[in-house]
Copies of this chain bind each other. A is one copy, B any other.
Amino acid sequence: MSVNEEAVMQTSAGGKPERKRVKPGIIDCDVHPIPKSLDQIKQYMPKYWRDRFRGGGRGLFYNNPFHGMRQDSHPPGGGPAGSDPDFVRKQLIEPNNIKTAILIPRENSCQFPDLDYGNAIASAHNEWIADTWIGPDNPDGVFKSSIVINHSDPVYAAQEIDRWAHHKHNIQVTTDSGARFLLGHRNFHPIYEACCRHNLPLAIHPGLDGIGINILPSPGNPSHYIEWHTCMSLSFQAHLVSLLTEGTFERYPDLRIVLVEGSSTWLVPLMWRLDMEYKALRVEIPWVKKRPSEYLRDHVRLTSQPLERPENDEDLLQMLRMMDAEHLLMFSSDYPHWDFDNPKLAFPKLPEKLYNRIFFENAEQFYGLQQ
């Protein structure tokens, strides 16, 4: 039971009428809308690509040995898990008092060597989302979404951002941690310029590390899904170090990055190490004006799922304190994926102030979602 639920159940003494405190809604920063079928995407593609489109993703590599999706999330009316907005409302949003679900479509466009093909896939997904999840399917406005881009073609990706930034329900841009360059590389500057131009954060989500033409995040191919899945966090560490040491946040003072589903507690040892290196080596990177960890509050957020749960809850609380979770961490569930974090169960009992920061205040402020 969360702190807020307890608050709701408090009764005042002396038999007076129950005093209910209004329970603020949760913001879930990682919900995946899934197409009902490939045809739902193909209809937005030029014929040349439509006839060749076979979807994206990891193909035959690094798949969960059971299922990639919660098996109870297939909509009663048919279709894949996560493909029916109304069932997402019924299963995820209503029972968990979620006021905003931030959609991260997984279009997997950056894995293809043919840039035009990747661009066509990204564009089709943006059209599909605008015509469904954040269009007619969103009368209550509970869904916000992310503009998908093919980061392998940064100039085209910037145009795609320009094309969709006007939509009131698009509140960020998203791309994959699987890449051919580390994210601090100046190759990506057109994307960062576009994000700043429209004041949209960029959310990095894992999935295509070492897939297609993307480089592995470790010095060799993992053999099994568990190994690949555990080491996804290494990409995030490398990308964050790249952004910080390349001075990306000095060049783009308005750039904001969200690290989604890369786990988060690695931030503590990584920032200790990078700050220490900076002390000795800052002459090499004079464009970095302060200790790398000092850039985080202004520029970086992490989402919570998958949250590690050590045997001792107190250890996790210590780590949340050391990583400045109070300012940097935002709740996410990863619905409808297999490793979904239930907002009622994912965390140990948190102090109310910290609970509020993680479950809604941090995201409200970061995305400008104040009610």
A residues sitting closer than 8 Å to B (CB atoms) are 64-66, 177-182, 184-185, 209-210, 214-227, 229-231, 233-235, 237-239, 241-242, 245-246, 263, 265-266, 268-270, 272-274, 276-278, 280-285, 306, 308-310, 315-316, 318-319, 322, 338-339
Q: 5 A–B contact pairs at CB < 8 A? A: A218-B239, A223-B245, A223-B246, A272-B308, A276-B306
Q: Kindly provide the distance from the CB of A219 to the nearest chain B CB, expressed in whole angstroms.
A: 4
Question: Complex Cα distance A233/B231, Å?
Answer: 12
Report yes or no: A266 in contact with B269, Cβ–Cβ below 8 A: yes
Question: Complex Cα distance A245/B233, Å?
Answer: 16
Q: Kindly provide the distance from the CB of A337 to the nearest chain B CB, expressed in whole angstroms.
A: 12
| Residue from the list B215, B222, B227, B278 in contact with A220, Cβ < 8 A | B215
Report yes or no: B224 in contact with A219, Cβ–Cβ below 8 A: no
Q: Among the interface residues A65, A179, A338, which one has the most CB atoms of the partner chain B within 10 A?
A: A65
Identical copies of this chain, number? 2
| Residue from the list B229, B242, B265 in contact with A277, Cβ < 8 A | B229
Question: Complex Cα distance A315/B275, Å?
Answer: 15
Given contacts A182-B220, A265-B268, A266-B266, contact A245 B273 (CB under 8 A): no
| Residue from the list B181, B230, B283, B308 in contact with A65, Cβ < 8 A | B283
| Closest residue on chain B to residue A307 by CB atoms | B276
Given contacts A238-B231, A269-B263, A319-B269, contact A281 B223 (CB under 8 A): no
Report yes or no: B217 in contact with A218, Cβ–Cβ below 8 A: yes
Question: Complex Cα distance A230/B227, Å?
Answer: 22
| Closest residue on chain B to residue A266 by CB atoms | B269
| Residue from the list B179, B218, B226, B268 in contact with A234, Cβ < 8 A | B218
Report yes or no: B309 in contact with A276, Cβ–Cβ below 8 A: yes
Given contacts A272-B310, A273-B233, A276-B306, contact A284 B221 (CB under 8 A): no
Given contacts A276-B306, A276-B308, A308-B273, contact A224 B238 (CB under 8 A): no
| Closest residue on chain B to residue A265 by CB atoms | B269
